[in-house]
Chain A
């Protein structure tokens, strides 16, 4: 049993920093990650993730992953950008330090920010302290819920190795979601980030989010005049030429 401490673990060089890197260029906004997240986390360690009035006029519920749709740029330059938003597992998360009970904590071994539901008193202060809206309150259980990076999945040795990724990553049909260790400069996600240049969400808050977005690539210039397809002259032999002549009459 760990002693509840909301003080942050001392940063040590070379420690694991697990997080998601999401490619805004390839995300098509299908919400598969949203549903997959809900499906996995409604049960097991994090669950339940209740729905309130699911068959009534104004249903609402707890979801740990939300896809926003934005318009980026204007006119011919404009494009739609889908931004899946969940916890960035910050290095300086105030959601942890404001917790009065030690329910909210950041793991020293991999940087994952978690809530111990047995210690949470449901004061909601952590959700106020998160600038990104990564935490949602479970009214039924009276405790706070948040993304766990599927901690009950990524270390599960009963799963095949390629399945030991967060449920949202496994579900993404366009491979827009990447999961890995951003503390290791040689990891696949770190290289991807170095190659594409990452977007840090709300850097001015000083929370030092670990999770990043890969920016949309610039739109390839479309030619000013669009070419129309010309009819292709029929080059056919005897029988086909006869059929063509009959049909063209």
Chain B
């Protein structure tokens, strides 16, 4: 699949934003975060800014961005529509949560808004992942690990950004660092499991089954239907060399998981406020860049069945 920059930036930025919002909405009401007004407003602005940037970026790939509001109508069948509704509801809750925090009305309503914003963040990220997970023609996406990957990566980047903001305010406690480290490890493990799973793919549709011809006799493309690339090949015919994919996987692993983990451990060991600010901010930035590479690969490594018509595919060996 063609890795469209607008979608890669959207899922990475909004994922981190929903992760951060989700953690604040959960941890502040249960008393695990300081009730400091500046911290609350700055961290929630960062989360909402990241979400807004992501959502605006996602409209860039639309043919008619001005009609985007129509996308909330088909929640009965469409995950994209559900994503839109969840995103809107979460946005309202998050703004209310931030406003109440700013006014220091941290009572029951504030608690409810925070917890519901967390639920909304989780629902939005799940909906985003389900858009890909439900596409049967793309086997690398129609995979049980996809939802876990999206959720864990959002939670991981969110926790890292939370640690960074807390350290800027000089309020970083080892609990949040441990939380971030735990999610770096789990998200990394889930991503490795996903890669292992898509590397082991076998079977699947062939050119013969694509047309419905018996697979006893070999079938191979002779002449393409057109001399130049068309929309189908531009959008769904993207191919990445195995060698490049392997290198990029290593870069994503190092950037998204390994480097942030090392920086977190160093920040915990050093404990000096200046060093911890630099290290936790560095961890959040490197992890976000690593997730960008991971998201690029998520598209680049995905193959669509339409490519079978152009490149052929394994016809049954048992002829």
Which residues of B lie under 8 Å from residue A194 when comparing CB positions? none
Max chain A CB contacts within 10 Å: which of B62, B73, B217, B225?
B225
Instruction: Say whether B70 faces chain A, with CB atoms less than 8 Å apart.
Output: yes
Given A68-B224, A68-B225, A121-B68, does the pair A202, B74 have CB atoms closer than 8 Å?
no
Give A186 to B131 CA distance when docked, in angstroms.
40
CB pair A67–B304 under 8 Å, yes or no, is no
Which residues of B lie under 8 Å from residue A122 when comparing CB positions? 62-64
Partner of A136, one of B137, B217, B231: B231
Given A121-B67, A203-B209, does the pair A136, B230 have CB atoms closer than 8 Å?
yes
Instruction: Say whether A30 faces chain B, with CB atoms less than 8 Å apart.
Output: no
Q: B192-217 CB contact bits vs A (8 Å, 1 = yes)?
A: 00000000000011010111111001
Q: Interface residues of B toward A: which range?
A: 35 or more
CB pair B74–A102 under 8 Å, yes or no, is yes
Which residues of B lie under 8 Å from residue A143 when comparing CB positions? 63-64
CB pair A215–B137 under 8 Å, yes or no, is no
CB pair A129–B135 under 8 Å, yes or no, is yes
Given A69-B222, A129-B135, does the pair A121, B78 have CB atoms closer than 8 Å?
no
Give A206 to B134 CA distance when docked, in angstroms.
13
CB pair A102–B70 under 8 Å, yes or no, is yes
Which residues of A lie under 8 Å from residue B65 when comparing CB positions? 121
Q: Which residue of A lies closest to B218 (CB)?
A: A74
Instruction: Say whether A76 faces chain B, with CB atoms less than 8 Å apart.
Output: no
Partner-contacting stretch, out of B39-47, B79-87, B182-190, B284-292: B79-87
Instruction: Say whether A159 faces chain B, with CB atoms less than 8 Å apart.
Output: no
CB pair A121–B228 under 8 Å, yes or no, is no
Instruction: Say whether A28 faces chain B, with CB atoms less than 8 Å apart.
Output: no
Q: Which of A107-154 contact B (CB under 8 A)?
A: 119-125, 127-133, 136-139, 141-144
CB pair B78–A98 under 8 Å, yes or no, is yes
Q: B81-96 CB contact bits vs A (8 Å, 1 = yes)?
A: 1001000000000000
CB pair A102–B73 under 8 Å, yes or no, is yes
Which residues of A lie under 8 Å from residue B68 when comparing CB positions? 121
CB pair A121–B63 under 8 Å, yes or no, is yes
Instruction: Say whether A174 faces chain B, with CB atoms less than 8 Å apart.
Output: no
Instruction: Say whether A190 faces chain B, with CB atoms less than 8 Å apart.
Output: no
CB pair A200–B212 under 8 Å, yes or no, is yes
Which residues of A lie under 8 Å from residue B229 when comparing CB positions? 58, 60
Q: B6-39 CB contact bits vs A (8 Å, 1 = yes)?
A: 0000000000000000000000000000000000
Instruction: Say whether B305 faces chain A, with CB atoms less than 8 Å apart.
Output: yes
Instruction: Say whether A66 faces chain B, with CB atoms less than 8 Å apart.
Output: yes
Q: Which residue of A lies closest to B237 (CB)?
A: A133
Give A58 to B230 CA distance when docked, in angstroms.
10
Give A189 to B209 CA distance when docked, in angstroms.
22
Q: Interface residues of A toward B: which range?
A: 35 or more
Give A200 to B304 CA distance when docked, in angstroms.
19
CB pair A94–B136 under 8 Å, yes or no, is yes
Q: Which residue of A lies closest to B67 (CB)?
A: A121
Give A123 to B70 CA distance when docked, in angstroms.
12
Which residues of A lie under 8 Å from residue B225 when comparing CB positions? 34, 66-69, 85
CB pair A204–B84 under 8 Å, yes or no, is no
Q: Which of B209-247 contact A (CB under 8 A)?
A: 209-214, 217-226, 228-232, 235-236
A41 to B: closest C-beta gap in Å? 15
Give A4 to B75 CA distance when docked, in angstroms.
12
Partner of A206, one of B76, B136, B306: B136
B300 to A: closest C-beta gap in Å? 15
A205 to B: closest C-beta gap in Å? 6
Instruction: Say whether B77 faces chain A, with CB atoms less than 8 Å apart.
Output: yes
Given A60-B230, A127-B235, A199-B211, does the pair A85, B74 have CB atoms closer than 8 Å?
no
Which residues of B lie under 8 Å from residue A26 when comparing CB positions? none
CB pair A204–B80 under 8 Å, yes or no, is no
Which residues of A lie under 8 Å from residue B231 when comparing CB positions? 60, 62, 127, 136-137
Q: Which residue of B lies closest to A57 (CB)?
A: B228
Instruction: Say whether B109 faces chain A, with CB atoms less than 8 Å apart.
Output: no
Q: Which residue of A lies closest to B216 (CB)?
A: A73
CB pair B70–A99 under 8 Å, yes or no, is no
Q: Which residues of A contact B (CB under 8 A)?
A: 4-8, 24, 34, 58-63, 66-74, 77, 80-81, 83, 85, 94, 96-103, 119-125, 127-133, 136-139, 141-144, 198-206, 212-213, 215
Known pairs A69-B221, A94-B134, A101-B73. 13 more at Cβ < 8 A? A4-B74, A7-B77, A60-B228, A68-B310, A72-B219, A77-B217, A99-B78, A103-B70, A120-B63, A121-B65, A133-B232, A199-B212, A202-B212
